[in-house]
Amino acid sequence: MNTPHPRSSKSSWSTAAVIVAIVAVGVVAAGLLHTPQSDAITIPGCDEVAQPEDLQRINFAFVVNETYDSPDYPWFSETKAAAMSDALAGALPRGATVKAESIGPSLLFGPISTSPDGGIGGGDTSASAVLSMSNVDERRTLADGIVVDISDGETNRRVEAYVPDGSRIDASSHGALTLDEMIDIVTTPSGG
């Protein structure tokens, strides 16, 4: 039966010394061969280039007081804002379409913006909207009071009749009908 020979402590120490020596030589060699890179920026023709500073963040906000009932503007109220909004919508020309906006309601007057020092934004109200208009090339008013809007495009023709009783008749054609035929179509049902 063979028994394993215990290693001598002398060989363990010599192995450890060799490993430490190899690591130390590697660290020294890396230190000698490494050339640190400069943070300096050079631009041909410039003697010195200023280094960028650390970024700083600044937050700010505007605080605006808005109210329908300001003692500084007694003529204005929520009822007045609604009446102004209705009047604005009623004043739009025929064929105007209000497009959906991403910010805020369309064509509605909001509260009055007030500022304590009477500065920018003091005493204002506004209504906004993005509008699109249909192509009305011509508008005719017929003897019986019917209003006819004509949009005559290259590939599409559209005729709309607005009858005094409040009804609206709309017809479109892709070149199959003449303009007179389309006017007859939209005015005949109304007795025109």
Encode pLDDT of 35-82 as tens digits.
Answer: 655 566 677 777 777 776 777 777 776 666 677 888 888 888 899 889
Position 41 scores a pLDDT of 67
Per-residue pLDDT of 123-146, as tens digits, reads: 677 788 877 766 677 888 888 889
> CB neighbours of 185 closer than 8 A, spacing ≥ 6?
159, 169, 171, 177
Which pTM does this prediction carry? 0.38
| Proportion of the chain in helix, strand, coil states, percent, rounded to 5 | 25, 20, 55
At residue 190 the predicted structure's pLDDT band, cuts being 50, 70 and 90, is low
Q: From the centroid of its chain, how far is CA 117?
A: 31
Distance, CA of 187 to CA of 190 (rounded, Å): 6
For the ranges 21-25, 69-73, 117-121, the lowest mean pLDDT is seen at 117-121
Distance, CA of 151 to CA of 174 (rounded, Å): 12
Position 76 scores a pLDDT of 84
192 has pLDDT over 50: no
Amino acid (1-letter code) at residue 73: Y
Arithmetic mean of pLDDT, 95-117: 72
Inter-CA distances, 148 with 28, 92, 174, 180, Å: 95, 18, 19, 12
CB 166 within 8 A of CB 147: no
Distance, CA of 114 to CA of 119 (rounded, Å): 8
For the beta carbon of residue 119, count every other beta carbon within 10 angstroms: 7
Distance, CA of 179 to CA of 108 (rounded, Å): 39
List the one residue out of 103, 126, 102, 104 whose CA is nearest residue 113.
126
> CB neighbours of 140 closer than 8 A, spacing ≥ 6?
147, 148, 150
